[in-house]
Amino acid sequence: MSGRLRDRSSSQAKRHSHHQTTTTVAVAAMPNFLTETLPCPFGELATNLSDSALRETAYEILVGACRSTGGKPLTYISQSERNSERTATPTLTSTASLQRSLTSTAASKVKKALGLRSSGRKKVSGESDSERVKRAVTIGEMLRVQMGISEQTDSRVRRALLRVAAAQLGRRIESVVLPLEMLQQLKPSDFPNQGEYEAWQRRNLKLLEAGLLLHPLLPLDKTDTAPQRLRQIIRGALEKPLETGKNNESMQALRSIVLSLACRTFDGSASETIHWADGFPLNLRIYQMLLEACFDVNDETSVIEEVDEVLELIKKTWVVLGMNQMLHNLCFLWILFNRYVATGEVEGDLLFAANNLLMEVEKDSKSMKDPNYSKILSSTLSAILGWAEKRLLAYHNYFHSDNTELLECVVSVGVLSAKIMVEDISHEYRKKRKEFDVALQDNKAPIVSFHDINSFLTFSI
Protein backbone atom coordinates (compact mmCIF):
# COMPACT_ATOMS: atom_id res chain seq x y z
CA MET A 1 0.00 0.00 0.00
CA SER A 2 2.88 2.35 0.77
CA GLY A 3 4.18 1.71 -2.72
CA ARG A 4 0.82 2.56 -4.23
CA LEU A 5 0.68 5.82 -2.33
CA ARG A 6 4.22 6.68 -3.38
CA ASP A 7 3.19 6.09 -6.97
CA ARG A 8 0.32 8.46 -6.34
CA SER A 9 2.79 11.26 -5.56
CA SER A 10 4.74 10.78 -8.77
CA SER A 11 1.59 10.83 -10.88
CA GLN A 12 -0.06 13.72 -9.02
CA ALA A 13 -0.27 16.11 -11.97
CA LYS A 14 -1.76 13.47 -14.20
CA ARG A 15 -4.33 12.44 -11.63
CA HIS A 16 -5.46 16.00 -11.08
CA SER A 17 -5.71 16.78 -14.75
CA HIS A 18 -7.82 13.72 -15.59
CA HIS A 19 -9.56 12.93 -12.32
CA GLN A 20 -9.71 16.25 -10.57
CA THR A 21 -13.22 15.61 -9.23
CA THR A 22 -12.36 12.36 -7.45
CA THR A 23 -11.54 13.86 -4.06
CA THR A 24 -14.22 16.52 -4.37
CA VAL A 25 -16.97 14.02 -5.07
CA ALA A 26 -15.80 11.76 -2.24
CA VAL A 27 -15.64 14.60 0.26
CA ALA A 28 -19.04 15.92 -0.76
CA ALA A 29 -20.58 12.64 0.36
CA MET A 30 -18.85 12.63 3.73
CA PRO A 31 -20.97 13.36 6.83
CA ASN A 32 -20.94 16.80 8.42
CA PHE A 33 -19.76 15.60 11.84
CA LEU A 34 -16.18 15.12 10.67
CA THR A 35 -14.88 18.44 11.99
CA GLU A 36 -12.81 17.62 15.03
CA THR A 37 -10.38 19.41 17.32
CA LEU A 38 -7.37 17.31 18.23
CA PRO A 39 -5.14 18.16 21.22
CA CYS A 40 -1.68 19.35 20.24
CA PRO A 41 0.80 16.48 20.74
CA PHE A 42 3.68 18.86 21.41
CA GLY A 43 2.49 19.49 24.97
CA GLU A 44 1.00 22.45 26.79
CA LEU A 45 3.03 25.39 28.00
CA ALA A 46 3.16 26.00 31.73
CA THR A 47 2.31 29.65 31.22
CA ASN A 48 -0.57 31.43 29.49
CA LEU A 49 1.09 32.51 26.26
CA SER A 50 -1.60 32.81 23.58
CA ASP A 51 -1.18 31.69 19.98
CA SER A 52 -1.03 35.33 18.91
CA ALA A 53 1.79 35.96 21.40
CA LEU A 54 3.69 32.91 20.15
CA ARG A 55 3.07 33.97 16.55
CA GLU A 56 4.53 37.42 17.14
CA THR A 57 7.50 35.86 18.90
CA ALA A 58 7.98 33.47 15.98
CA TYR A 59 7.93 36.40 13.58
CA GLU A 60 10.53 38.29 15.62
CA ILE A 61 12.83 35.26 15.61
CA LEU A 62 12.30 34.77 11.88
CA VAL A 63 13.09 38.39 10.97
CA GLY A 64 16.07 38.38 13.34
CA ALA A 65 17.40 35.12 11.90
CA CYS A 66 17.06 36.36 8.32
CA ARG A 67 18.83 39.64 9.15
CA SER A 68 21.54 37.73 10.98
CA THR A 69 22.37 35.59 7.95
CA GLY A 70 22.98 38.73 5.88
CA GLY A 71 22.32 39.21 2.20
CA LYS A 72 20.01 41.55 0.31
CA PRO A 73 16.23 41.59 0.76
CA LEU A 74 14.58 38.79 -1.16
CA THR A 75 12.19 39.66 -3.94
CA TYR A 76 9.20 37.38 -4.27
CA ILE A 77 7.25 36.56 -7.42
CA SER A 78 4.64 33.81 -7.24
CA GLN A 79 5.44 30.55 -9.01
CA SER A 80 2.52 30.77 -11.41
CA GLU A 81 3.37 34.33 -12.39
CA ARG A 82 7.01 33.39 -12.83
CA ASN A 83 6.06 30.69 -15.33
CA SER A 84 4.16 33.20 -17.50
CA GLU A 85 6.85 35.82 -17.25
CA ARG A 86 9.48 33.34 -18.34
CA THR A 87 8.01 33.29 -21.83
CA ALA A 88 6.44 36.75 -22.02
CA THR A 89 9.14 38.99 -20.49
CA PRO A 90 12.44 37.15 -20.08
CA THR A 91 14.41 40.34 -19.41
CA LEU A 92 12.14 41.49 -16.58
CA THR A 93 12.06 38.01 -15.08
CA SER A 94 15.83 37.76 -15.10
CA THR A 95 16.10 41.09 -13.32
CA ALA A 96 13.65 39.97 -10.64
CA SER A 97 15.49 36.67 -10.24
CA LEU A 98 18.79 38.42 -9.69
CA GLN A 99 17.28 40.25 -6.71
CA ARG A 100 16.70 37.04 -4.81
CA SER A 101 18.95 34.18 -3.75
CA LEU A 102 16.24 31.56 -3.83
CA THR A 103 15.63 28.90 -6.47
CA SER A 104 13.58 29.81 -9.50
CA THR A 105 12.20 26.38 -10.30
CA ALA A 106 8.95 26.28 -12.23
CA ALA A 107 7.10 24.22 -9.65
CA SER A 108 7.35 23.67 -5.92
CA LYS A 109 9.63 20.76 -5.11
CA VAL A 110 8.01 20.41 -1.70
CA LYS A 111 4.53 20.17 -3.20
CA LYS A 112 5.71 17.65 -5.74
CA ALA A 113 7.36 15.50 -3.07
CA LEU A 114 4.27 15.57 -0.87
CA GLY A 115 1.86 14.98 -3.73
CA LEU A 116 0.13 18.35 -3.45
CA ARG A 117 -1.33 19.94 -6.56
CA SER A 118 -0.57 23.50 -7.63
CA SER A 119 -3.25 26.10 -7.16
CA GLY A 120 -2.85 27.30 -10.75
CA ARG A 121 -3.28 31.04 -10.28
CA LYS A 122 -4.52 32.84 -13.38
CA LYS A 123 -3.28 36.10 -14.85
CA VAL A 124 -5.56 38.98 -13.97
CA SER A 125 -7.53 40.15 -17.00
CA GLY A 126 -6.06 43.29 -18.58
CA GLU A 127 -2.87 43.11 -16.52
CA SER A 128 0.37 43.52 -18.42
CA ASP A 129 3.51 41.49 -17.74
CA SER A 130 5.41 44.57 -16.55
CA GLU A 131 2.62 45.38 -14.08
CA ARG A 132 2.91 41.93 -12.60
CA VAL A 133 6.66 42.36 -12.16
CA LYS A 134 6.09 45.68 -10.41
CA ARG A 135 3.71 43.95 -8.00
CA ALA A 136 6.52 41.73 -6.79
CA VAL A 137 6.99 41.97 -3.05
CA THR A 138 9.63 40.59 -0.73
CA ILE A 139 9.21 37.09 0.59
CA GLY A 140 9.31 38.65 4.05
CA GLU A 141 6.32 40.81 3.21
CA MET A 142 4.39 37.76 2.10
CA LEU A 143 5.27 36.00 5.34
CA ARG A 144 4.13 39.00 7.34
CA VAL A 145 0.71 38.79 5.71
CA GLN A 146 0.58 35.02 6.07
CA MET A 147 1.31 35.26 9.80
CA GLY A 148 -1.18 38.05 10.40
CA ILE A 149 1.44 40.58 11.54
CA SER A 150 0.42 44.21 11.09
CA GLU A 151 2.65 46.67 9.23
CA GLN A 152 2.95 48.70 12.44
CA THR A 153 4.19 45.67 14.39
CA ASP A 154 6.55 44.70 11.57
CA SER A 155 8.04 48.20 11.51
CA ARG A 156 8.52 48.12 15.28
CA VAL A 157 10.17 44.69 15.18
CA ARG A 158 12.61 45.71 12.45
CA ARG A 159 13.41 48.98 14.24
CA ALA A 160 14.14 47.08 17.45
CA LEU A 161 16.34 44.54 15.67
CA LEU A 162 18.39 47.34 14.12
CA ARG A 163 18.97 48.76 17.59
CA VAL A 164 19.82 45.30 18.94
CA ALA A 165 22.33 44.75 16.11
CA ALA A 166 23.96 48.10 16.85
CA ALA A 167 24.09 47.46 20.60
CA GLN A 168 25.41 43.91 20.22
CA LEU A 169 28.00 44.85 17.58
CA GLY A 170 26.50 42.56 14.96
CA ARG A 171 26.27 39.40 17.07
CA ARG A 172 24.28 36.62 15.41
CA ILE A 173 20.73 35.84 16.45
CA GLU A 174 21.72 32.64 18.28
CA SER A 175 24.04 34.67 20.50
CA VAL A 176 21.41 36.95 22.00
CA VAL A 177 18.36 36.48 24.22
CA LEU A 178 15.90 38.21 21.95
CA PRO A 179 13.15 39.04 24.50
CA LEU A 180 15.75 40.58 26.81
CA GLU A 181 17.20 42.74 24.05
CA MET A 182 13.76 43.79 22.83
CA LEU A 183 12.85 44.88 26.36
CA GLN A 184 16.00 46.96 26.43
CA GLN A 185 15.55 48.60 23.04
CA LEU A 186 11.84 49.42 22.79
CA LYS A 187 10.22 52.17 24.86
CA PRO A 188 6.61 53.25 25.48
CA SER A 189 7.06 55.87 22.75
CA ASP A 190 7.43 53.06 20.20
CA PHE A 191 3.85 51.96 20.85
CA PRO A 192 0.46 53.55 20.13
CA ASN A 193 -0.36 53.69 23.83
CA GLN A 194 0.89 52.69 27.28
CA GLY A 195 -1.49 49.75 27.52
CA GLU A 196 -0.12 48.12 24.38
CA TYR A 197 3.44 48.65 25.60
CA GLU A 198 2.71 47.02 28.95
CA ALA A 199 1.02 44.04 27.26
CA TRP A 200 4.07 43.65 25.00
CA GLN A 201 6.39 43.83 28.00
CA ARG A 202 4.41 41.15 29.82
CA ARG A 203 4.65 38.87 26.79
CA ASN A 204 8.43 39.15 26.73
CA LEU A 205 8.70 38.53 30.47
CA LYS A 206 6.50 35.43 30.12
CA LEU A 207 8.74 34.25 27.28
CA LEU A 208 11.79 34.55 29.53
CA GLU A 209 9.92 32.65 32.22
CA ALA A 210 8.87 29.91 29.78
CA GLY A 211 12.26 29.54 28.09
CA LEU A 212 14.52 29.81 31.13
CA LEU A 213 12.43 28.56 34.06
CA LEU A 214 9.46 26.47 32.93
CA HIS A 215 10.80 24.75 29.80
CA PRO A 216 14.60 25.15 29.79
CA LEU A 217 16.75 23.01 27.49
CA LEU A 218 19.04 22.19 30.41
CA PRO A 219 17.51 21.19 33.77
CA LEU A 220 17.84 23.85 36.45
CA ASP A 221 20.37 23.38 39.21
CA LYS A 222 18.48 23.16 42.51
CA THR A 223 21.39 24.82 44.30
CA ASP A 224 21.41 27.82 41.95
CA THR A 225 19.64 30.91 43.31
CA ALA A 226 19.33 32.59 39.89
CA PRO A 227 15.98 30.92 38.99
CA GLN A 228 14.34 32.13 42.17
CA ARG A 229 15.67 35.65 41.70
CA LEU A 230 14.38 35.70 38.12
CA ARG A 231 10.94 34.56 39.30
CA GLN A 232 10.86 37.43 41.78
CA ILE A 233 11.81 40.01 39.13
CA ILE A 234 9.22 38.68 36.68
CA ARG A 235 6.52 38.50 39.33
CA GLY A 236 7.18 42.11 40.33
CA ALA A 237 7.31 43.30 36.70
CA LEU A 238 3.99 41.63 35.91
CA GLU A 239 2.40 43.70 38.68
CA LYS A 240 4.23 46.95 37.91
CA PRO A 241 5.88 47.71 34.54
CA LEU A 242 9.64 47.24 34.54
CA GLU A 243 11.90 50.25 34.05
CA THR A 244 14.07 49.21 31.10
CA GLY A 245 16.60 52.03 30.87
CA LYS A 246 20.13 50.90 30.10
CA ASN A 247 21.45 52.08 33.46
CA ASN A 248 18.38 51.08 35.43
CA GLU A 249 19.24 48.82 38.38
CA SER A 250 16.30 46.45 37.81
CA MET A 251 17.17 46.02 34.15
CA GLN A 252 20.80 45.37 34.94
CA ALA A 253 19.80 42.73 37.48
CA LEU A 254 17.43 41.11 34.97
CA ARG A 255 20.13 41.03 32.30
CA SER A 256 22.70 39.49 34.63
CA ILE A 257 20.37 36.70 35.79
CA VAL A 258 18.95 35.96 32.34
CA LEU A 259 22.39 35.64 30.76
CA SER A 260 23.66 33.42 33.58
CA LEU A 261 20.79 30.99 32.90
CA ALA A 262 20.82 31.25 29.11
CA CYS A 263 24.57 30.70 28.73
CA ARG A 264 24.61 27.34 30.52
CA THR A 265 25.90 24.30 28.60
CA PHE A 266 25.72 20.57 29.25
CA ASP A 267 29.47 20.22 29.84
CA GLY A 268 30.06 23.65 31.36
CA SER A 269 32.14 24.87 28.40
CA ALA A 270 31.74 28.28 26.80
CA SER A 271 29.43 28.48 23.80
CA GLU A 272 28.31 31.22 21.44
CA THR A 273 24.82 29.70 21.26
CA ILE A 274 22.45 30.94 23.92
CA HIS A 275 19.53 28.80 25.08
CA TRP A 276 16.26 30.59 25.69
CA ALA A 277 13.81 29.19 23.13
CA ASP A 278 15.10 25.67 22.40
CA GLY A 279 13.51 23.80 25.30
CA PHE A 280 10.56 21.45 24.70
CA PRO A 281 7.71 22.13 24.09
CA LEU A 282 8.23 25.91 23.79
CA ASN A 283 10.39 25.54 20.69
CA LEU A 284 7.85 23.29 18.97
CA ARG A 285 4.93 25.61 19.73
CA ILE A 286 6.84 28.58 18.29
CA TYR A 287 7.87 26.53 15.26
CA GLN A 288 4.24 25.49 14.78
CA MET A 289 3.32 29.15 14.30
CA LEU A 290 5.93 29.43 11.54
CA LEU A 291 4.85 26.29 9.70
CA GLU A 292 1.22 27.37 9.69
CA ALA A 293 2.30 30.28 7.48
CA CYS A 294 2.67 27.71 4.70
CA PHE A 295 -1.12 27.68 4.32
CA ASP A 296 -2.80 30.32 2.20
CA VAL A 297 -4.31 32.99 4.42
CA ASN A 298 -7.24 33.18 1.98
CA ASP A 299 -7.74 29.41 1.71
CA GLU A 300 -7.04 27.48 4.89
CA THR A 301 -6.90 24.11 3.07
CA SER A 302 -4.36 25.22 0.45
CA VAL A 303 -0.57 25.17 0.80
CA ILE A 304 0.93 28.27 -0.85
CA GLU A 305 2.85 27.94 -4.11
CA GLU A 306 5.90 29.56 -2.51
CA VAL A 307 6.21 26.93 0.21
CA ASP A 308 9.79 26.09 -0.88
CA GLU A 309 10.97 29.66 -0.35
CA VAL A 310 9.03 30.04 2.87
CA LEU A 311 10.46 26.84 4.35
CA GLU A 312 13.96 27.91 3.33
CA LEU A 313 13.56 31.06 5.40
CA ILE A 314 11.86 29.28 8.30
CA LYS A 315 14.78 26.89 8.56
CA LYS A 316 17.01 29.84 9.45
CA THR A 317 15.31 29.79 12.87
CA TRP A 318 16.54 26.27 13.64
CA VAL A 319 19.67 27.54 15.38
CA VAL A 320 17.54 29.51 17.85
CA LEU A 321 14.80 26.91 18.35
CA GLY A 322 17.07 23.88 18.51
CA MET A 323 15.38 22.28 15.50
CA ASN A 324 16.73 19.84 12.91
CA GLN A 325 15.41 18.11 9.80
CA MET A 326 13.90 15.20 11.71
CA LEU A 327 12.03 17.42 14.16
CA HIS A 328 10.93 19.56 11.23
CA ASN A 329 9.52 16.52 9.42
CA LEU A 330 7.61 15.45 12.52
CA CYS A 331 6.20 18.94 13.12
CA PHE A 332 5.25 19.44 9.48
CA LEU A 333 3.55 16.04 9.50
CA TRP A 334 1.34 17.15 12.38
CA ILE A 335 0.62 20.53 10.80
CA LEU A 336 -0.58 18.90 7.57
CA PHE A 337 -2.60 16.19 9.31
CA ASN A 338 -4.17 18.52 11.85
CA ARG A 339 -5.12 21.03 9.15
CA TYR A 340 -6.88 18.22 7.26
CA VAL A 341 -8.89 17.25 10.35
CA ALA A 342 -9.54 20.79 11.64
CA THR A 343 -10.95 21.95 8.30
CA GLY A 344 -13.56 19.20 8.15
CA GLU A 345 -11.52 16.68 6.14
CA VAL A 346 -12.56 18.35 2.89
CA GLU A 347 -9.12 18.45 1.21
CA GLY A 348 -7.92 14.88 0.70
CA ASP A 349 -4.57 16.08 -0.65
CA LEU A 350 -3.57 17.16 2.86
CA LEU A 351 -4.04 13.63 4.19
CA PHE A 352 -2.13 12.13 1.25
CA ALA A 353 0.66 14.66 1.89
CA ALA A 354 0.72 13.73 5.59
CA ASN A 355 0.96 10.07 4.64
CA ASN A 356 3.88 10.75 2.30
CA LEU A 357 5.68 12.72 5.00
CA LEU A 358 4.93 9.94 7.49
CA MET A 359 7.09 7.69 5.31
CA GLU A 360 9.99 10.09 5.87
CA VAL A 361 9.29 10.15 9.60
CA GLU A 362 9.48 6.36 9.57
CA LYS A 363 13.02 6.58 8.17
CA ASP A 364 13.95 9.31 10.67
CA SER A 365 12.68 7.34 13.66
CA LYS A 366 15.13 4.51 12.98
CA SER A 367 18.15 6.75 13.48
CA MET A 368 16.85 9.47 15.83
CA LYS A 369 16.97 8.19 19.41
CA ASP A 370 16.82 11.47 21.31
CA PRO A 371 14.38 11.06 24.25
CA ASN A 372 12.62 14.36 23.50
CA TYR A 373 12.13 13.33 19.89
CA SER A 374 10.81 9.92 20.95
CA LYS A 375 8.33 11.52 23.31
CA ILE A 376 6.97 13.90 20.67
CA LEU A 377 6.98 11.09 18.09
CA SER A 378 4.92 8.88 20.38
CA SER A 379 2.35 11.55 21.24
CA THR A 380 2.01 12.65 17.60
CA LEU A 381 1.56 9.14 16.26
CA SER A 382 -0.82 8.23 19.07
CA ALA A 383 -3.09 11.12 18.07
CA ILE A 384 -2.96 10.14 14.40
CA LEU A 385 -3.50 6.45 15.14
CA GLY A 386 -6.45 7.20 17.43
CA TRP A 387 -8.07 9.25 14.69
CA ALA A 388 -7.48 6.55 12.06
CA GLU A 389 -8.86 3.79 14.31
CA LYS A 390 -12.03 5.78 14.92
CA ARG A 391 -12.56 6.17 11.17
CA LEU A 392 -11.83 2.53 10.37
CA LEU A 393 -13.94 1.05 13.17
CA ALA A 394 -16.93 2.96 11.80
CA TYR A 395 -15.83 2.75 8.16
CA HIS A 396 -19.39 2.38 6.88
CA ASN A 397 -20.11 5.91 8.16
CA TYR A 398 -17.11 7.48 6.49
CA PHE A 399 -16.34 5.59 3.30
CA HIS A 400 -18.19 4.37 0.22
CA SER A 401 -17.49 3.30 -3.36
CA ASP A 402 -16.50 6.82 -4.45
CA ASN A 403 -13.72 7.38 -1.93
CA THR A 404 -11.85 4.08 -1.72
CA GLU A 405 -8.59 5.95 -2.41
CA LEU A 406 -9.15 7.95 0.77
CA LEU A 407 -9.87 4.72 2.67
CA GLU A 408 -6.55 3.30 1.49
CA CYS A 409 -4.78 6.41 2.72
CA VAL A 410 -6.43 6.25 6.16
CA VAL A 411 -5.39 2.59 6.44
CA SER A 412 -1.84 3.46 5.38
CA VAL A 413 -1.64 6.32 7.91
CA GLY A 414 -2.88 4.05 10.69
CA VAL A 415 -0.62 1.12 9.81
CA LEU A 416 2.47 3.30 9.41
CA SER A 417 1.81 5.08 12.71
CA ALA A 418 1.38 1.78 14.55
CA LYS A 419 4.47 0.30 12.91
CA ILE A 420 6.69 3.25 13.86
CA MET A 421 5.37 3.20 17.42
CA VAL A 422 6.05 -0.53 17.78
CA GLU A 423 9.59 -0.11 16.45
CA ASP A 424 10.21 2.81 18.80
CA ILE A 425 8.86 0.87 21.79
CA SER A 426 10.89 -2.20 20.76
CA HIS A 427 14.07 -0.13 20.68
CA GLU A 428 13.43 1.18 24.19
CA TYR A 429 12.52 -2.32 25.35
CA ARG A 430 15.73 -3.84 23.97
CA LYS A 431 17.71 -1.06 25.64
CA LYS A 432 16.03 -1.72 29.01
CA ARG A 433 16.45 -5.47 28.59
CA LYS A 434 20.16 -5.05 27.97
CA GLU A 435 20.49 -2.88 31.08
CA PHE A 436 18.49 -5.42 33.09
CA ASP A 437 20.63 -8.34 31.84
CA VAL A 438 23.80 -6.52 32.85
CA ALA A 439 22.34 -5.77 36.29
CA LEU A 440 21.40 -9.42 36.81
CA GLN A 441 24.83 -10.61 35.73
CA ASP A 442 26.51 -8.13 38.05
CA ASN A 443 24.41 -9.47 40.94
CA LYS A 444 25.07 -13.07 39.84
CA ALA A 445 21.34 -13.71 39.74
CA PRO A 446 19.77 -16.19 37.28
CA ILE A 447 19.14 -14.66 33.85
CA VAL A 448 15.45 -14.26 33.13
CA SER A 449 14.10 -15.41 29.74
CA PHE A 450 12.41 -12.59 27.86
CA HIS A 451 10.83 -14.73 25.12
CA ASP A 452 7.38 -14.77 26.69
CA ILE A 453 7.55 -11.06 27.55
CA ASN A 454 8.48 -10.24 23.96
CA SER A 455 5.59 -12.28 22.64
CA PHE A 456 3.16 -10.69 25.08
CA LEU A 457 4.23 -7.14 24.19
CA THR A 458 4.01 -7.81 20.45
CA PHE A 459 0.55 -9.34 20.86
CA SER A 460 -0.66 -6.47 23.06
CA ILE A 461 0.54 -3.79 20.67
Q: How many domains does the chain have?
A: 1
Does residue 415 belong to any structural domain of this protein? yes
Of the candidate ranges 7-16, 37-46, 156-165, the one whose mean pLDDT is the lowest:
7-16
Does residue 258 belong to any structural domain of this protein? no
- Percent of the chain residues topping a pLDDT of 70: 72
pTM: 0.81
How far apart are the C-alpha atoms of 240 and 13, rounded to whole Å? 59
- Percent of the chain residues topping a pLDDT of 90: 61
pLDDT tens for each residue of 80-132: 444 444 444 333 333 232 234 333 445 799 999 999 987 655 443 444 554 44
Does residue 49 belong to any structural domain of this protein? no
Residue 414 belongs to what domain range? Answer: 1-30+325-461
pLDDT tens for each residue of 161-189: 999 999 888 789 999 999 999 999 999 99
pLDDT tens for each residue of 240-270: 999 988 778 989 999 999 999 999 998 888 7
Distances (CA, A) of 180 to 135, 147, 185, 261, 386: 37, 23, 9, 12, 41
How far apart are the C-alpha atoms of 459 and 235, rounded to whole Å? 52
Does residue 434 belong to any structural domain of this protein? yes
Is the pLDDT at 30 greater than 60, yes or no?
no
Does residue 210 belong to any structural domain of this protein? no
Does residue 77 belong to any structural domain of this protein? no
- Positive or negative torsion for Cα 116, 364, 417, 300: negative
How far apart are the C-alpha atoms of 383 and 105, rounded to whole Å? 36
Average pLDDT over residues 376-399: 94
Does residue 455 belong to any structural domain of this protein? yes
- Positive or negative torsion for Cα 137, 139, 143, 144: negative
pLDDT tens for each residue of 294-338: 999 999 999 999 999 999 999 999 999 999 999 999 999 999 999
Does residue 352 belong to any structural domain of this protein? yes
How far apart are the C-alpha atoms of 336 and 329, rounded to whole Å? 11
